[in-house]
Amino acid sequence: MYKARWEADKKRYEEEKAKVEQARIDNPELFKQIDAQKKKQGRRAVKSPVKRACSAFILYCKEHRLTVKKQNPNLSFTETGRLLGMQWKELPEAQKAKYE
C-alpha cells in the first residue's frame, strides 16, 4: 500500500519537476530574480538583538575560570568546567547569592 503511494507521489513529483524545469528554460529572467532572492535570504543571519540574562553559575564561571586555569594549566576546557561545577556545588548559599 505504502509503496504504491510512494510510486504515485514520486511520479507526480517528477512531472511537476519537469514542468518547473521547462518554465525555467522558457522564462530564465523570472527564475534569475527568484534565485537572487533565495541567495539574499540565505545570507541573512537572523540574530536577536535581545539576549537572555546569564545564570548565576555562568557569572561565577566568568569570574573564576582564569584563576582555576592558572592553578591547573593542563586541564582542558571541559575538565575546567567540571571543576568549576564542583566548586559551585560546594559554594555556600550566602556566597551564591552574590551571583544571583
Q: Tell me: the pLDDT tens digits for 29-42?
A: 877 877 777 777 66
To the question of pTM greater than 0.75 for the whole model, the response is no
| AA identity, residue 59 | L
Q: Which three cell numbers stand for residue 12?
A: 507526480
The answer as to whether 66 is a domain residue is yes
CA gap 40, 48 in Å, rounded: 19
Instruction: Answer yes or no: are the C-beta atoms of 81 and 58 closer than 8 Å.
Output: no
Residues 67 and 91 in one domain: yes
Give the torsion through C-alpha atoms of 88, 93, 96, 100, to 10 deg: 130
Segments forming the whole domain that contains residue 76: 56-96
pLDDT tens, position by position, 69-92: 999 999 999 999 999 999 999 999
Residues 61 and 92 in one domain: yes
